[in-house]
Structures are given as structure tokens and as C-alpha cells.
Amino acid sequence: MRKDPRSGCAINAAVEVLGDSWSLIVLRDIVFGNRRHFREILSLNDEGIASNMLSSRLKKLVDEGLLTRAATVRGQKAAYSLTEAGIQVVPVMVALGAWGMTHRPTSRELTVRSRILAESPELVRDLMDELREAHLGVPLPESPRPRASERLRAAYEAEFGRA
């Protein structure tokens, strides 16, 4: 983790970690796509990230404390997991998605999740709890509601008729 930021500004501190072209995209693929291994992230990335760039970003995100990389033995795929700091980026991604939908050209199909999350702070909190369970092993709080991922999938299917 960088010890000497360029300034004491909170926005600068965040930009130093998240402000490049790929870090948030890699986190998006882990958070929303449940892609936990290098090859999954590389091959399923819509933006076409290069393998050297992905390797660099994963290392940076681990070094900055947003991801952990599981220890592996030879021949085993390393799994990446979100840390609490990585999970706390979810509301930032939701805000960026809402801004992008409003101010940039986007496709309806790829903005469904952004629209739904921007309209429901409760769903964002539930999604973060679900990520804590999947990545940190923290049990989900009791809730009568379906899981956040199920609600997002159902909303997508209601709009487009497929998963």
C-alpha cells in the first residue's frame, strides 16, 4: 500500500487506488460477475483487457488491500477475494454507473443492474452483505427477502426475459 499520497485530499487518496482505466472494471467483474480466477476475468471481460494489464491490476488491487490472492500449489488456480475495503467500493461503482447512465451513451441491456442498484440503497447493502458471505465467510444476516443476486437476476429477466 502506498504510504505517501500526493496530498491529504480524500478524493486524491481514492483516485490513487481506483483512478486508472482498469481497476474498477476488474473489481466490477469480481463483484457482479463472480469471476474469481485470472482466466475467468481475462476471457469473460467485455472490454478486452490484455493479460499483462490484468496481471498488473490484480497485483495492484492486492497490494492496495482491496483483494486477497489465495495461496496456491503448483497447477492450482489462484482465487481472488474481495476484502472489506474492496466490498466498500460497491457504492462507488453504483454511483459511477448511475452517472454513466445519465451522462454517457450506454446500452439498455448493460445498464439494468446500474439502474436497479441506483434506485435501491437497501439492495446495495444486501449485495454487500452477500459479498461478505462469499468472500469473507461472514454469514448473511437473517432476512425475509431473497438474496440480492437473485433480486438482480429476477429484475434482469423481467426486463429481458433471460438470464
Task: Grade residue 2 by pLDDT with cuts at 50, 70 and 90.
Answer: low
pLDDT (mean) for 101-110: 88
What is the per-residue pLDDT for 77?
A: 87
Domain extents in the chain:
8-86, 89-163
- Residue range 8-86 forms a domain whose CATH class is mainly alpha
Query: How far are the Cα atoms of 17, 18, 49, 114 from residue 23, in angstroms, in the given order?
Result: 8, 6, 11, 18
